[in-house]
Amino acid sequence: MNNLSKPKHSSALKLEMKKFLSKSGFTLFVIMLLMVFLAPFGYMLTTSVKDREMITGSDAPILPSRPAQYEYNGEEYPVLLVPDENGNFHEWAIIKKGREESTFIDTKNPETGPIQWEGKWRTLEKVWNFDPVWSNFAYVWETAKMPQMLRNTLVISVIGAIGTLLSCTAVAYGFSRFRIPGKSILFMLLISSVILPQFVTIVPTYVVFEKLGWIGSWLPLIIPHFFANAYNVFLLRQFFLTIPRELDEAAMIDGAGPLRRLISIIIPQSIPVLVAVGVFHFMWAWNDFFGPLLYLSTKKDLQPISIGIQLFNAQYSFQPHMVQAAALLGMILPLGLFFIAQRVFMRGIVFTGVEK
Q: 204-221 pLDDT, tens per residue?
A: 999 999 999 999 999 999
For residues 304 and 139, is the Cβ–Cβ distance under 8 A?
no
Work out the percent of the chain whose per-residue pLDDT is above 90: 47
**Residues 6 or more apart whose Cβ sits within 8 Å of residue 195:** none
Spatial CA neighbour of 122 closest among 184, 49, 185, 59: 59
Using CA atoms, how far apart are residues 166 and 96, in angstroms rounded to an integer? 74
The 10 Å CB-count burial string (b at 16+, else e) for 68-87 is: bebeeeeeebbbbebeeeee
Point out which residues pair with 93 in neighbouring strands. 79, 105
Using CA atoms, how far apart are residues 124 and 94, in angstroms rounded to an integer? 11
Point out which residues pair with 79 in neighbouring strands. 93
What's the whole-number mean pLDDT along residues 57-79?
Answer: 88
Q: What is the pLDDT of residue 339?
A: 82
At 2, is the secondary structure helix, strand, or coil? helix
Hey, where are the domains in the chain?
A: 65-130, 137-351
For residues 93 and 104, is the Cβ–Cβ distance under 8 A?
yes
Q: What's the pTM?
A: 0.79
Instruction: Give the relative orientation of helices 305-315 and 271-287 as an angle to the nearest 10 degrees.
Output: 30
Other Cβ atoms less than 10 A from the Cβ of 154: the count is 16
Using CA atoms, how far apart are residues 50 and 323, in angstroms rounded to an integer? 11
Mean pLDDT of the chain: 87
- Has residue 317 got a pLDDT over 70? yes
Q: What is the pLDDT of residue 6?
A: 54
**Residues 6 or more apart whose Cβ sits within 8 Å of residue 280:** 232
Using CA atoms, how far apart are residues 239 and 231, in angstroms rounded to an integer? 13
> Residues 228-253: pLDDT tens digits?
989 899 989 988 998 888 888 898 98
Q: What is the pLDDT of residue 338?
A: 81
Homologous superfamily, domain 137-351 = MetI-like (1.10.3720.10)
- Has residue 260 got a pLDDT over 60? yes
Distances in Å between the Cα of 165 and the Cα atoms of 227, 244, 278 are 10, 22, 7
Q: What is the pLDDT of residue 3?
A: 52
Using CA atoms, how far apart are residues 218 and 67, in angstroms rounded to an integer? 49
> Residues 124-133: pLDDT tens digits?
989 999 999 9
Q: What is the 3-state secondary structure (H, E, C) of 189-224?
A: HHHHHHHCCHHHCHHHHHHHHHHHCCCCCCHHHHHH
